């Protein structure tokens, strides 16, 4: 399995702030791919950071993991 691949898929919920950032950065299709294939970096009990390096640059998705879903808080794009 690729690094960062999740076997049990959870529902992905996106906050209003994250939606605004996604639209501003034109990243509407890349969030799910980043969560599924990106490198996981745990930043506390429930806070996670997923990092994915692709053709369009580095994409970082910051979210909180709950037992039944993943809540995307913000999205950052690097060069």
- Judged against a pLDDT cut of 50, whether residue 7 lies above it is answered with no
**Which of these, 43, 39, 11, 38, lies nearest to 27 by C-alpha position?**
38
- Judged against a pLDDT cut of 60, whether residue 6 lies above it is answered with no
Instruction: For the chain, list the domains and their CATH numbers.
Output: 11-78 (3.30.2310.20)
What are the structure tokens assigned to 15, written together?
């906050």
User: Is-contact 33 52, C-beta < 8 A?
Assistant: yes
Query: What tens digit of pLDDT does each residue of 10-42 get?
Result: 899 999 999 999 999 888 778 888 888 999 999
Query: What tens digit of pLDDT does each residue of 38-50 get?
Result: 999 999 899 999 9
User: Is-contact 77 66, C-beta < 8 A?
Assistant: no
* % of the chain beyond a pLDDT of 70: 89
């Amino acid at each position: 399995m690729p690094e960062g691949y999740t076997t049990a898929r959870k529902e992905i919920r996106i906050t209003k702030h994250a939606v605004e950032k996604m639209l501003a950065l034109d990243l509407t299709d890349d969030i799910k791919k980043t969560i599924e294939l990106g490198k996981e970096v745990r930043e506390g009990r429930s806070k996670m950071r997923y990092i994915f390096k692709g053709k369009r640059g580095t994409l970082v998705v910051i979210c909180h993991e709950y037992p039944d879903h993943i809540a995307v808080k913000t999205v950052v794009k690097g060069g």
